[in-house]
Structure 1
Amino acid sequence: MTLQGEELAAVFARLMRAASREPLDTQMLLAACAESGRRVYGARGAIVQYAPLCDNSVRTEGTGSALRTLATDAVAWKEGPGCEARSSGVALINVDITSRPARVRWPSWAPRAMALGFGRVTALPLASSSPSFGALVLLGPPGAVLDEEALALVRSLAEVAAHALALQRHACESRTLADQLQLALNSRVVIEQAKGMLAMRYGLTPDDAFDRLRRYARARRRKVVELAHEITVGRDDIQSL
């Protein structure tokens, strides 16, 4: 059974609200993705994997504590439909977990999923551009019949989820860049102040004052900005070099 249009719109709106939440909360967004996938597909459970491009970590979420544990373990095992869809960028549709090929393919993941009562899995990569940076995994009971209409809807959901995650990632990267630029500006101001104080104190040109500051810091294995700050607050007085 698929969701009605208004319900589907509400699901998509919930994802976008989670993506723009202040402060940014990636885990909340992942939880919204998992629950939305479960509802749209009519699945018994859902898991989300997300690998930020800025580091090598993989974040996970699931509908229920058992699936959250399975999601975390799957990353540690480096196996399962989520890992495969995320790394390959290829969707896995209606895979029979109970089959021998699936158990050979995922020797740790498949038995755990079966023990939780699941028998079928569909995994869709999450990608706003190539390569994919996540996966939405939908789990159903043994013998579950694939609903083509629900699959079409969940593909749309995967696109929206990927877009939401990309928006949040870009916002996070923009804030990080802004913080770095502000730090660089603050450091420059402190260094300029220290240069001016040294130039006046020792009758130096600004360039000579900076050269003296830099050599003094290097000789003591200090950062120039840290030494400059101490000079501006009167805790260090360069007299050598």
Structure 2
Amino acid sequence: MKLGMIPAVAFVILLSGCSQRFESVNDTVKEAFFGFDDVNMTTEQIEQLPYASAYFRINDGPQIFMVLAFAEKNPENNQVQLKWLSSDKAMIVTEQGRIVKTLNLPESNLAERTNLDGPWQQTSESRSRYDWPKSNYGFNAVSDFSPQGKETVQTPTWTKELTVWEESVSFAALNDRIKNTYWVDANNDVLKSIQYLGPNMTRIEFSILKPYTE
């Protein structure tokens, strides 16, 4: 996806092959946990840098602006993984709009979410496996999807009518479940989402400002 420039935050963009890399000298995920104001970009600021970008909100913290550091194919299923990186090395990884890994978040993290049925679609059911750090590995989950109608979503760069899908993720071994929500466009791309890393764990909301293009 693509970058945008914040007045208080400088980015140094390094291109290496197909990967898009950046270094932020100020904006950090820890600040989002421990307090500062929402970052709100203008359309012009977002458009100034031709890289993917998105707003993220972690739990009830302020809105932060993140850019795509890497776009790499997952060798297991040939799907592109988008890796969003902060200056303090926190990372959020998405695959087809699903959060599949996080690193160095101040609270809970997701070691990996593996889709056992291949690329996920908005169908009646799919299976995945959740791995969390500290030896919490191998928790199987079953997802049920249900459409929730249409909703118009607006960001500084676009306004679209999107289809809302709710994913109910059940963990039999934990006797617990989580509910994720996806806002999906006509191309089946997730442009907005609210997802949980696991039961009673971190909630992450994101809105895509500029979509990734290969």
Shorter-chain TM-score category? Answer: 0.3 to 0.5
More helix by share: 1
Q: Whose strand proportion is higher, 1 or 2?
A: 2
Q: TM-score, normalised by structure 1?
A: 0.30
Q: Which has the larger radius of gyration?
A: 1
